[in-house]
């Protein structure tokens, strides 16, 4: 239906008695509500929008404080659903002011004649699901109640200001304002002594302007926040040119990006760049004045690695010191308690310079908490500040507040949403809640929402929901409800995603930590906009996976299950590999496969620095073998780990697991010697096994020369390398040495049988395939030899072997033989620790700095090695282990 026709089409809304009957009711006439109304009408639904405010605009209707602007460039902060609308509006600035944004919403409302279906000045007081009519019944505070088939919350994420939580506010005789509810006719601050409490985005945007108007401003800061200059002005040329050259491509790239803004994925990691290169990147980002740029484009590990992130914090501290003249004030303004980006950074105009003004005072509440507000001002532990005006820029009960605080919502069997969410929000896709049929949330908790360009996320949600409603109607279904299984799976996926980022290290409104008593947990989805979109599409592609659909004249449909079981980064890696359309390795021949592996490894991030890397030759079973040695930066001598790389006894060399060897060396604080053992088909069974044993013996005998600790060594390996490592332990026991203190086996090959369940479940699709394992075995070992314990160690004598740590991965053909081996070792009386890595594939744990969710497993492996060597299991506490400090410990 063309847009013009939509605008002209009359609403099908009818009033029956005092109840307004509609297909869909929407709460909120902001960014999401307006598009919902338009799209639902276009799909032929009757709709009413309920809006508390007097006009459209949502958050932009309420947040009118001085300096309010968007912090995503307006070129990106726009509707894209109608190319004609996109062309019809041109923003005047890179970051539009609140009045201009509000004008934009008015323009959109007029263009599609939206206001006629919006009930302004109206609040929903209660929403109850009625099972018999399969409709939501809404009670309002103004006019008719509403009966609707579907109920959609387009209430925004930051719409419920949180109370001040400071004693004495009511006693204050002056004026009190909240940035989130700023008076529409403005506030005259001339001649007024003003206090601002709060230094989040609202405080940081308003403080410079308030300081220009008021004779004196006192800022009460509890937590300093990172702020960077917006450099507002005309939209930047590079962006504008790309946009105007190919608007469709620009918008599409944004839709599939991580943050909803068309930036590529950065690939260079911080330790690959020199100090000068990092500084250059940082200065460019600082000059760009773009939050998404600085949050994503510095280096690949900035948001996922504590050390990579800390580099940015230091550079920003320098900037603050360069601007703020008073050293103590500069120090107080410099954030030290959270990683950059873990709390939302702010875009500012003259924020830090404002503290050089003689009429501005900063009060550091970490040193002098607020005791109370009195009739004349604010009293801290150390002083009393008399003011005429207090501005609370203290933030919002974010994400859940916007849904729960609005009104009671009662779903199936009288369940209240507040009770269901008592321990934190539970949703499927951030869009729906089990037990609440036909209830939808736009940018709800569990969706990318506030960690993305909201414009892009809102459009995706609205499109997905309205398309589903239309498809439901088409198929004769009247209800749609998430299942408990799907919802629990989403919670697990959310938790997996959150381990990828550093958000867990900050107390923020993202986690609910800003509201005393609120259950804490990361609420937005951290997996990224593009991946989220592909998951939503997958739900539809797999027959509405995780939803129960019912209707009066159709059979119930329920494809129950979890949409994502893989770890999020593993899913991304597999997606990228699928896009590369790689050849089947076994089709390349052994040399071709080796060349392929060499090329493939060039694309992975460089391994992290260790104290020293050396190489040399050692004595194998039948001549010299190359080795690579990784030495920790700490003073030695260190215990030695003899490492065997993966590659099915056919591929790889002493360099091919370089990042993993470096990681083991750094985390364990031990020397790692990676052995270049001989490969099939040139050297078939038992060459690799015998080389493994000989190399271990040689290394143990030459430990002192290698700078290692004399005495028992440790062995480790991945895949076929783990097979060699454990075979070496059996041979060392049977051949009187060398002494081995422990074995680390990562996804080991332990047996030649292919009939275990994991070979069937994971035959294809997870990089190591069943066909590839067949090929490796065929090249390495004749069928007659395969039952030899030097090929299939599971068939050997397992008694009196060194203690073992066995790691297996859920989506690996080798999973079950690894688990069986660990169990058999334990039965034989060997001390064994097992780690079954959920959601991982065969190569996950060695893909250091690509599969970040493998970190906890890598930590455990290193700890196990240290335990085997008789060292304390933990090397040292890293900043990552530190818990964020409690922000709400004391009022103020
Ligand atoms: O709120 P905030 P906001 N005593 O929660 C402090 C979006 N936004 O309105 O950090 C003393 O960030 C609190 O201290 P602490 C944007 O996404 C966008 O500024 O809890 N202080 C903090 O300093 C943003 O992130 C724009 O220790 C108290 C401040 O108040 C989100 O909205 C503009 C306190 C609250 O900061 C929220 O921003 C504005 C107490 N009792 C907002 N309670 C754009 O540019 C709280 N604080 C688009």
Among protein residues, the one with the nearest Cα to ligand 1's atom 25 is 344
- Which one of 514, 523, 524, 886 would you pick to mutate in the ligand 1 pocket, going by the greatest count of ligand atoms within 8 A of its CB? 514
Measured in angstroms, how far is the CA atom of residue 346 from the centroid of ligand 1?
10
Q: Which stretch of DSSP H or E encloses residue 519? A: none
Stronger pLDDT, 607 or 659, i.e. the higher one: 659
Predicted local distance difference test score (pLDDT) of residue 748: 98
- Which one of 177, 260, 394, 524 would you pick to mutate in the ligand 1 pocket, going by the greatest count of ligand atoms within 8 A of its CB? 394
Q: Region 378-391: what's the mean pLDDT? A: 97
- Which one of 198, 390, 524 would you pick to mutate in the ligand 1 pocket, going by the greatest count of ligand atoms within 8 A of its CB? 198
Predicted local distance difference test score (pLDDT) of residue 638: 97
Contact yes or no for 218/189 (Cβ under 8 A): no
How would you classify the pairing of strands 47-50 and 19-27?
Answer: parallel
Stronger pLDDT, 3 or 253, i.e. the higher one: 253
Q: Give the integer Cα–Cα distance in Å for 308 and 268.
A: 11
Contact yes or no for 505/885 (Cβ under 8 A): no
Among protein residues, the one with the nearest Cα to ligand 1's atom 37 is 395
Among protein residues, the one with the nearest Cα to ligand 1's atom 29 is 198
Per-residue pLDDT of 292-320, as tens digits, reads 999 999 999 999 999 999 999 999 999 99
In degrees to the nearest 10, what's the CA dihedral of 683, 687, 688, 692? -150
Least confident of 101-105, 290-294, 405-409, 431-435: 405-409
Residues with CB under 6 A from ligand 1: 69-71, 158, 165-166, 179, 197-203, 205, 222-223, 344, 365, 393-396, 450, 509, 514, 887, 891-892
Predicted local distance difference test score (pLDDT) of residue 5: 33
Non-local (6+) Cβ contacts of 596 within 8 A are 583, 585, 588
Measured in angstroms, how far is the CA atom of residue 200 from the centroid of ligand 1?
4
Q: Give the integer Cα–Cα distance in Å for 157 and 171.
A: 31
Predicted local distance difference test score (pLDDT) of residue 11: 39
Residue 407 — pLDDT band, cuts 50, 70, 90?
confident
Per-residue pLDDT of 213-260, as tens digits, reads 999 999 999 999 999 999 999 988 888 899 999 999 999 999 999 999
pTM summary value: 0.93
Q: Region 730-748: what's the mean pLDDT? A: 98
Stronger pLDDT, 379 or 165, i.e. the higher one: 379
Which strands form 554-558's sheet, in the order they lie side by side?
479-482, 547-551, 554-558
Residue 745's beta-bridge partner residues? 717, 806
Say yes or no to pLDDT of 14 above 50. no
Please report the DSSP string for 353-419 in residue order.
Answer: HHTTSTTEEEEETTTS-EEEE-SSEEEESS-EEE-SEEEE---B--TTHHHHTT--EE-GGG-BHHH
Residue % of the chain over a pLDDT of 90: 90
Per-residue pLDDT of 623-677, as tens digits, reads 999 999 999 999 989 999 999 999 999 999 999 999 999 999 999 999 999 999 9
Among protein residues, the one with the nearest Cα to ligand 1's atom 36 is 200
Please report the DSSP string for 63-77 in residue order.
Answer: ---TT-B-SS-TTTS
Q: Give the integer Cα–Cα distance in Å for 394 and 380.
A: 17
Q: Give the integer Cα–Cα distance in Å for 596 and 613.
A: 25
Residue 824 — pLDDT band, cuts 50, 70, 90?
very high
Q: Which atom of ligand 1 is nearest to the CA of 344?
A: 25
Q: Region 47-70: what's the mean pLDDT? A: 96
How would you class 635 by CB atoms within 10 Å of its CB: exposed for 0-12, middle for 13-18, buried for 19 or more? exposed
Per-residue pLDDT of 672-683, as tens digits, reads 999 999 999 999
Least confident of 52-61, 594-603, 823-832: 594-603
Mean pLDDT, all residues of the chain: 94
Per-residue pLDDT of 784-816, as tens digits, reads 999 999 999 999 999 999 999 999 999 999 999
Q: Which atom of ligand 1 is nearest to the CA of 70?
A: 48
Predicted local distance difference test score (pLDDT) of residue 1: 34
Residue 516 — pLDDT band, cuts 50, 70, 90?
very high
Predicted local distance difference test score (pLDDT) of residue 265: 87
Residue 779 — pLDDT band, cuts 50, 70, 90?
very high
In degrees to the nearest 10, what's the CA dihedral of 687, 688, 690, 694? 120
Alpha helices for 657-704 (secondary structure H): 658-668, 687-701
How would you class 583 by CB atoms within 10 Å of its CB: exposed for 0-12, middle for 13-18, buried for 19 or more? exposed
DSSP letter (8 states) at residue 434: T
Predicted local distance difference test score (pLDDT) of residue 849: 85
Predicted local distance difference test score (pLDDT) of residue 527: 95
Stronger pLDDT, 39 or 892, i.e. the higher one: 39
Residue 891 — pLDDT band, cuts 50, 70, 90?
very low
Among protein residues, the one with the nearest Cα to ligand 1's atom 43 is 394
Residue from 818, 830, 760 nearest 793 by CA = 818
- Which one of 76, 160, 202 would you pick to mutate in the ligand 1 pocket, going by the greatest count of ligand atoms within 8 A of its CB? 202
Predicted local distance difference test score (pLDDT) of residue 13: 45
Say yes or no to pLDDT of 210 above 80. yes
Contact yes or no for 792/750 (Cβ under 8 A): yes
Q: Give the integer Cα–Cα distance in Å for 194 and 391.
A: 7
- Evaluated on CA atoms 270, 273, 276, 281, the torsion sign reads negative
3-state secondary structure of 428: strand
Q: Which atom of ligand 1 is nearest to the CA of 395?
A: 1
Predicted local distance difference test score (pLDDT) of residue 602: 86
Say yes or no to pLDDT of 406 above 60. yes
Residue 432's beta-bridge partner residues? 428
Predicted local distance difference test score (pLDDT) of residue 889: 30
Stronger pLDDT, 867 or 238, i.e. the higher one: 867
Predicted local distance difference test score (pLDDT) of residue 235: 87
Among protein residues, the one with the nearest Cα to ligand 1's atom 5 is 395
The Cα-based distances of 294 to 280, 288, 512 in angstroms read 12, 8, 25
Measured in angstroms, how far is the CA atom of residue 229 from the centroid of ligand 1?
18
């Amino acid at each position: 239906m063309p847009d013009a026709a939509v605008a002209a089409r009359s609403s099908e809304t009818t009033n029956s008695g005092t109840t307004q009957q509609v297909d869909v009711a929407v709460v909120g006439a902001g960014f999401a509500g307006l598009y919902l109304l338009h799209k639902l009408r276009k799909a032929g639904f009757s709709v009413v929008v309920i809006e508390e405010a007097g006009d459209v605009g949502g958050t932009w209707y309420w947040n009118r404080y001085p300096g309010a602007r968007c912090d995503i460039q307006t070129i990106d902060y726009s509707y894209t659903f109608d190319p004609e609308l996109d062309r019809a509006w041109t923003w005047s600035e890179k970051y539009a002011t609140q009045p201009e944004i509000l004008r934009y919403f008015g323009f959109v409302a007029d263009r599609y004649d939206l206001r006629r279906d919006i009930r302004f000045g109206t609040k929903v007081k209660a929403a109850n699901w009625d099972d018999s009519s399969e409709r939501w019944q809404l009670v309002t505070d103004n006019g008719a109640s509403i009966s609707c088939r579907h109920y959609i919350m387009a209430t925004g994420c930051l719409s419920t200001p949180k109370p001040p939580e400071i004693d004495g506010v009511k006693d204050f005789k002056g004026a009190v304002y909240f940035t989130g509810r700023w008076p529409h006719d403005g506030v005259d601050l001339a001649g007024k002594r003003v206090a601002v409490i709060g230094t989040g985005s609202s405080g940081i945007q308003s403080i410079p302007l308030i300081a220009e108007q008021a004779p004196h401003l006192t800022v009460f800061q509890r937590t300093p926040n990172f702020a960077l200059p917006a450099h507002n002005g005309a939209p930047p040329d590079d962006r504008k040119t790309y946009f105007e050259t190919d608007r469709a491509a620009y918008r599409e790239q944004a839709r599939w990006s991580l943050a909803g803004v068309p930036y590529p994925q950065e690939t260079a990691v911080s330790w690959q760049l020199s100090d000068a290169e990092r500084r250059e990147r940082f200065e460019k980002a600082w000059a760009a004045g773009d939050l998404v740029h600085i949050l994503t484009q510095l280096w690949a590990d900035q948001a996922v690695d504590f050390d990579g992130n800390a580099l940015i914090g230091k550079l920003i501290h320098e900037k603050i010191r360069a601007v703020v003249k008073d050293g103590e004030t500069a120090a107080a303004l410099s954030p030290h308690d959270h990683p950059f980006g873990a709390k939302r950074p702010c875009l500012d105009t003259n924020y830090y310079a404002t503290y050089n003004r003689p009429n501005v005072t900063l009060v550091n509440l970490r040193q002098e908490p607020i005791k109370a507000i009195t009739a004349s001002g604010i009293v801290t532990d150390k002083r009393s500040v008399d003011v005429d005006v207090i501005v609370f820029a203290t933030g919002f009960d974010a994400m859940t507040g916007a849904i729960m605080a609005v009104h009671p919502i009662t779903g199936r069997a009288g369940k209240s949403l507040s009770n269901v969410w008592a321990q934190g929000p539970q949703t499927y896709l951030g869009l729906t809640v089990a037990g609440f049929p036909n209830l939808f949330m736009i940018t709800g908790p569990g969706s990318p929402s506030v960690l993305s360009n909201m414009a892009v996320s809102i459009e995706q949600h609205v499109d997905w929901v309205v398309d589903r409603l239309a498809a439901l109607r088409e198929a004769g279904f009247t209800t749609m409800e998430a299942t408990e299984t799907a919802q629990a799976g989403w919670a697990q996926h959310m938790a997996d995603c959150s381990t990828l980022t550093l958000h867990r290290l900050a107390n923020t409104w993202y986690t609910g930590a800003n509201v005393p008593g609120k259950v804490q947990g990361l609420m937005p989805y951290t997996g990224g906009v593009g991946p989220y979109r592909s998951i939503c599409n997958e739900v539809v592609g797999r027959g509405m996976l995780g939803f129960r659909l019912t209707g009066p004249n159709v059979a119930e449909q329920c494809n129950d299950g979890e949409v994502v079981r893989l770890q999020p980064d593993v899913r991304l890696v597999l997606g990228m590999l699928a896009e590369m359309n790689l050849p089947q390795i076994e089709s390349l021949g052994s040399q071709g496969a080796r060349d392929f592996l060499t090329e493939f490894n060039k694309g992975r991030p460089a391994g992290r620095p260790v104290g020293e890397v050396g190489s040399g030759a050692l004595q194998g079973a039948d001549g010299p073998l190359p080795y690579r040695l990784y030495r920790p930066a700490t003073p030695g001598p260190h215990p030695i780990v003899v490492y065997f790389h993966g590659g099915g006894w056919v591929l790889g060399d002493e360099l091919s697991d370089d990042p993993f060897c470096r990681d083991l060396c750094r985390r364990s604080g031990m020397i790692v010697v990676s052995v270049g053992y001989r490969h099939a088909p040139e050297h078939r069974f038992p060459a690799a096994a015998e080389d493994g044993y000989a190399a271990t013996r040689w290394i143990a005998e030459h430990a002192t020369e290698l700078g290692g600790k004399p005495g028992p060594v440790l062995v480790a390996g991945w895949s076929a390398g783990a097979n060699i490592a454990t075979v070496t332990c059996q041979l060392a026991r049977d051949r009187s040495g060398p002494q081995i203190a422990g074995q680390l086996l990562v996804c080991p090959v332990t047996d030649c049988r292919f009939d275990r369940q994991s070979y069937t479940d994971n035959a294809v699709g997870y990089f190591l395939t069943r066909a590839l394992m067949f090929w490796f075995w065929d090249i390495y070992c004749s069928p007659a030899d395969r039952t030899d314990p030097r090929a299939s160690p599971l068939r050997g004598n397992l008694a009196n072997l060194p203690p073992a740590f066995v790691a297996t991965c859920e989506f690996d053909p080798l999973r079950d033989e690894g688990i069986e081996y660990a169990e058999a070792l334990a039965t034989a009386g060997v001390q064994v620790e097992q780690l079954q890595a959920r959601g991982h594939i065969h190569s996950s744990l060695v893909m250091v700095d690509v599969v970040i969710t493998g970190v906890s497993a890598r930590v455990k492996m290193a700890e196990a090695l240290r335990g085997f060597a008789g060292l304390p299991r933990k090397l040292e506490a890293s900043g990552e282990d530190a818990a964020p400090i409690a922000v709400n410990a004391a009022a103020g």
